[in-house]
C-alpha cells in the first residue's frame, strides 16, 4: 500500500491550495515585499514563510504542538509572543506607512526581509495549530509510518506556500511603477496592511487552546 494514494494526495493538494491563497499576514508580507522591493524580496519572504511551516510541521510531528495545546502556560506564552510581533508590525505600518514604499534608501536589507518572513510564521501559533489539525486528516497508520507522512505533507505544504507566495509577490512587483506614481494608493495600502496585521495579532489572542 502506497503512503500517498493519488485520491488522498489530490484532496490534500486542493484543500492546501485554498488555505495558501487565503489572505493572511504571510502572503500579505510577500506581496508587500514584491511591491516595495521586487520579486527577489518577495521570494525571500516566501521562503521564510515556508521555513516557518517546516518548523511547525516538525513541532506537530514530534509532539511540541501537543505540549503547547495541553499546557496553558506554554500556549499563552507562544500566543502572546506571536500576537505581539504581528501587532508590532501592523502598528509600525500604520505609524510609519513604510511597509510598502518605493524609496531605495528606505528598502530593508534582504536578510531582514527573510528573517521577518520566518518570524511572522514561526511566532504565529495559528499555522502550528492548523498543521496539527489539518495534516493528520490525510494520514493513516495503515499506510505506513505516521511521522514520515506528516513530514512529507508538511514539506509539500511549505514548498507550495513558498511558490504561491513568490508568484503573488512577483505579480505585485509589476504594479510598483503605477503605485509609485500614486502616493495616495500607497498610503491606503499601508493602512490596509497595518490593519490586517493588527487584526491577525488580535485574532491570535482569541485562539482557544484546542482546535
Residue-range definition of the domain harbouring residue 56: 25-205
Residue 15 domain flag: no
Record the pTM.
0.69
- Nearest Cα to Cα of residue 151 among 67, 65, 55: 55
Residue 8 domain flag: no
Q: In angstroms, what CA-CA distances link 151 with 54, 62, 163?
A: 8, 10, 18
Q: What DSSP state is assigned to residue 78?
A: H
Residue 62 domain flag: yes
Q: Which residue has the cell 506528516?
A: 150
CB atoms within 10 A of CB 211: 12
Residue 1 domain flag: no
Residue 162 domain flag: yes
Residue 6 domain flag: no
Per-residue buried b or exposed e for 139-174, using 16+ beta carbons within 10 Å of the residue's own CB: beeeeeeeeebbbebbebbbebbbebbbbbbbebbe
Q: How many domains does the chain have?
A: 1
Tell me how far apart the alpha carbons of residues 31 and 39 are, in angstroms, rounded to a whole number: 9
Going residue by residue through the chain, which has 211 residues, state the pLDDT in tens, using 9 for 90 and above.
688 888 888 888 887 887 787 667 777 888 888 888 889 999 999 999 999 999 999 988 887 566 655 777 766 776 677 677 668 777 877 887 665 555 544 577 889 999 988 988 888 777 777 787 677 777 777 888 878 888 999 999 999 999 999 998 888 777 766 666 666 766 776 787 678 778 767 766 665 554 4
Amino acid at each position: 500500500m502506497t503512503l500517498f494514494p493519488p485520491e488522498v494526495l489530490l484532496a490534500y493538494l486542493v484543500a492546501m491550495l485554498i488555505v495558501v491563497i487565503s489572505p493572511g499576514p504571510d502572503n500579505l508580507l510577500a506581496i508587500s515585499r514584491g511591491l516595495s522591493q521586487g520579486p527577489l524580496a518577495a521570494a525571500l519572504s516566501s521562503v521564510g514563510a515556508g521555513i516557518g511551516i517546516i518548523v511547525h510541521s516538525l513541532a506537530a510531528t514530534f509532539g511540541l504542538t501537543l505540549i503547547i495545546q495541553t499546557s496553558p502556560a506554554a500556549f499563552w506564552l507562544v500566543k502572546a509572543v506571536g500576537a505581539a510581533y504581528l501587532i508590532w508590525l501592523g502598528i509600525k505600518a500604520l505609524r510609519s506607512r513604510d511597509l510598502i514604499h518605493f524609496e531605495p534608501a528606505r528598502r530593508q536589507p534582504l536578510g531582514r526581509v527573510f528573517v521577518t518572513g520566518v518570524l511572522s510564521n514561526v511566532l504565529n501559533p495559528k499555522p502550528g495549530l492548523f498543521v496539527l489539525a489539518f495534516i493528520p486528516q490525510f494520514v493513516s497508520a495503515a499506510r505506513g509510518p505516521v511521522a514520515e507522512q506528516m513530514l512529507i505533507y508538511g514539506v509539500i505544504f511549505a514548498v507550495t506556500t513558498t511558490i504561491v507566495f513568490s508568484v503573488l509577490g512577483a505579480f505585485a512587483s509589476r504594479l510598483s511603477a503605477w503605485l509609485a506614481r500614486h502616493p495616495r494608493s500607497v498610503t491606503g495600502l499601508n493602512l490596509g496592511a497595518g490593519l490586517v496585521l493588527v487584526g491577525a495579532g488580535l485574532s491570535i489572542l482569541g485562539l482557544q487552546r484546542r482546535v
